[in-house]
Amino acid sequence: MDGGNSVAIKGSKFSKSTGDSGGDKKGVASGTIEGEAEFISASPTVKFEGAGVCRLSDQMTMNKANTMCLGGAQNPSVTVSEDAEGTYTVDLTLTYSDGDPVQGATYTLTDQTGGVFEGNLDNKGKSSVSGVAPGEFKVEYGEDTREFMPNKATKQNPNFNPKANAQQLIDETKKGEIGFWENAWKRMSGSASWIWGVILGDFNDDASVEQIIANTALTMIPVVDQAADIRDLSANIMTLLDEKERDKTENWLALALTLIGCIPTFGSAMKGTCKVALKATKGTSKDTLLAVLRGMGKGDPEKFLRSLDWMDYAKQTSEIISDVLKPCIDVATELASYANRMGAEALGEYFLKLADEVQVIDKLVPNKLKEAMGEFDDLFSRILGKSEKPSPAKKKHDSGESSQAGKSKDETNEQKDKNQFKCPVCHKTPEKCGAY
């Protein structure tokens, strides 16, 4: 061993040597040129597998021992460098917050040397990437490739009864109790007719009209996002009974938002994203909007939002609200008949006026909802048209993940509705409250 560079061990043989073909003729005289070479001396102290290690200065024979090489193997030293560290395989996993896999999403892994690895996750949200250089790496994911489907479809309304007539709706509103108009008639006991003005005032102050509308909606709408939708729809209609309020765009947008929650299958998810878009208007980021939708379902959220047919939803919601308003007109007309039969002409006129106002709303609905849905279409187009790049997976800053660990587990970037409706009594969500 010379200078720490290994050459061979004693007894090593080489099939050919350079001999002395250009030298002192001894090789020629022996009849052997460029024959086998062998080391015959070695270090007495440094051994490898029991044999002494030969140094550059150790003796060797050449030409099948016909020639002695006293100068040893005078070859350049061989530099032995430390073996380079190998590459690694990294197992990728991407899931939703509930543990379900993100299927078919693209990924781009960039290692510490700048090496780029691209591919797709399988249906279990996994993939293995080989050849990754040692050290830290980063991964960027695409969206789930499936068609978007909400985690919870809009619920079927157990009270749905499209065949209910005005009398049935009135009886259901009373729920077996004496109607407020009947009770008022009994209280009159032949008193002067001016008392009907007092009764009418009481009627306007309490929630009787809203109760009638709410019960009609509860009977005539086939699906609802949550119980609060009936309350909201009643409030929307009550607001629009005022002629001045019907001129305000925001009131029709509010009605449209409530009705979106009544669209079969996708109503709940659509309503959630619409609420986010409306709250922040121009300040809503694409990343936030898509994160909200990821929190509500599985699949490609951007593809879903871009494919929404807002004019079709305008048609659907117009039919939904009309199915509520027309029975309300019938109920108001029937109540006017009750009042007139009891001699309560003022109350009868009130109900007829109520029927007229509801009829006005019904006539305005188709065009107003088209305008409202057009507003949503423009709003979503602006947000989705932003140049920002969304992050389908949560960003992990300074995670310190390295290829040596052999794995990377990530979750999707989701945003939950913090203002989810809860029962005012038990404060539980509708799914956990027995009343809903």
Geometric angle at alpha carbon 125, from 135 and 386, rounded to 5°: 85
Which segments of 345-397 does DSSP mark as H helices, in order?
Answer: 345-384
246 token code pair: 């019907």
Q: Name the pTM for this structure.
A: 0.67
Instruction: Say if residue 332's pLDDT is above 70.
Output: yes
To 10 degrees, what angle do helices 208-220 and 166-174 make?
A: 120
> Rounded mean pLDDT of 278-303?
87
Q: Look at 268 and 281; give whichever has higher pLDDT.
A: 268
Q: Please name which of 258, 277, 253, 282 lies closest in space to residue 415, comparing C-alpha atoms.
A: 277
Instruction: Say if residue 346's pLDDT is above 50.
Output: yes
Q: Which of 43-47, 204-208, 342-346, 367-371 has the highest mean pLDDT?
A: 367-371
- Phi/psi for 273 (5° steps) reads -75, -35
Ordered structural domains, the chain, with CATH: 8-69 (no CATH), 88-144+393-411 (2.60.40.10), 149-384 (no CATH)
pLDDT of residue 73: 53
> Rounded mean pLDDT of 276-293?
82
